[in-house]
Amino acid sequence: MECEMKHIISMRDISKNEISSLIDLAQKIEAQEINIDISGRLAALLFFEPSTRTAFSFDTAVKRLGGATIVMQGSSNSSVQKGESFADTVMTVSQYADIVVIRSATEGAARYASEVVDLPIVNAGDGANQHPTQTLLDLYSIKKTQGQIENVKIAIVGDLKYGRAVYSLVYGLMHFNAEFYFVSPEHLRIRDYLKGDLDARGIPYHELEEITDVLNVVDVMYVTRIQRERFAGQEEYEKVKDSYQISRSMIEAASIKPNFKLMHPLPRVNEITTDVDKLPCAYYFDQAKNGVYMRQAIISTLLGAAGGQEA
């Protein structure tokens, strides 16, 4: 099935069918069952906020498909420093590129770009709002490790107030009859608008403060970093920064399910100790690898090249 998607801006706009077709395509790309060639096409990667995985995995994805990239990492060397507006920057790169990937600290930046220019826009994270390509690779990771996404029991841990990957993920999982366990310090609970949307759809969720209460219950534990850059002040951040730490001994003491996986969008600060990395349930670096296949699927779909050729 060909997707009709023009942009990837928010998981709130992406249907279950669209998610499924992107996952199927990522699977085929990973299994080398399809050859997609976007040679001659150029992707502009505009990262106004720091990034390692998202920027590099988009760059890798485009190049693996045979395309080329122009990359802005941080605005310090660009004409933004001279006072150029966001709209003018996007308008300019749209004269060169066939698709634009944008990360910004401003909520709504990618959507605004999609209204300013007439080419596919991908939101690679806008403030505390959405990070849909992270979610699509997370859903792909859930499918790969659990066999299906349907009925997954998932704990989402950490900064549920400011973590954009959290918001995208919850909206994505709303299509799949997921059961949510939100684990956070009191001050970092999920925001009311998300609770309202869960309630309106009759989707069950639990709010807790202790990881150990859910470790034995869930299929996936999705851990997030406290988003220091979104806090109003250092003092507020200091109060919550070490709220959670998952260690090897904590996992070994629990009766985790055989299919249990620990996921994290990364970067990790100190919420998972490094001695966990070698445990079979540690999936976060595999997740980063899945990001390249998913971003290949996203780029080729938006460029209308996903038909490819059977390998």
CB 146 within 8 A of CB 152: yes
> How far is the C-alpha of 20 from the C-alpha of 225, rounded, in Å?
28
Task: Determine the interface stretch with ligand NCD among 8-16, 83-91, 242-250, 263-271 (rule: CB under 6 A).
Answer: 263-271
Per DSSP, what are the bridge partners of residue 68?
42
Give the footprint of ligand NCD on residues 91-130 (CB under 6 A).
Answer: 125
Measured distance CA(272)–CA(117) in Å, rounded: 41
- 67's tokens: 């395309």
53 binds ligand NCD (CB under 6 A): yes
Catalytic annotation on 12? no
- The one catalytic residue in 7, 53, 143, 261 is 53
Q: How far apart are CA 130 and CA 120, in angstroms?
A: 17
User: Nearest distance from residue 123's CB to ligand NCD, in Å?
Assistant: 11
**Contact characters 142-181, ligand NCD, x per CB under 6 A:** ----------------------xx----------------
One of 143, 225, 261, 295 touching ligand NCD (CB under 6 A) = 225
Counts for the chain of helices (H) and strands (E), in that order: 10, 11
295 sits near ligand NCD (criterion: CB under 6 A): no
Shortest reach from residue 203's CB to ligand NCD, in Å: 23
Q: How far is the CB of 269 from ligand NCD (least distance, A)?
A: 9
d(CA 173, CA 296): 21
Apex CA 164: angle with CA 160 and CA 169, to 5°?
Answer: 85
Q: Kindly tell me which residue out of 7, 41, 111, 131 binds ligand NCD, with binding defined by CB under 6 A.
A: 131
Tell me how many degrees the CA angle 264-23-126 measures, rounded to the nearest 5: 50
Using CB under 6 A, pick the residue from 194, 265, 292, 297 that binds ligand NCD: 265
52 flagged as catalytic: no
Catalytic, out of 131, 143, 144, 225: 131
290 SS3 class: helix
Stretch that binds ligand NCD, among 38-46, 66-74, 85-93, 264-272 (CB under 6 A): 264-272
Chain-centroid distance of CA 302 in Å reads: 17
The answer to whether 224 touches 238, Cβ cutoff 8 Å, is no
Residues designated catalytic? 53-54, 82, 103, 131
Binding site for ligand NCD (CB under 6 A): 53-54, 125, 131, 134, 164-165, 224-225, 265-267
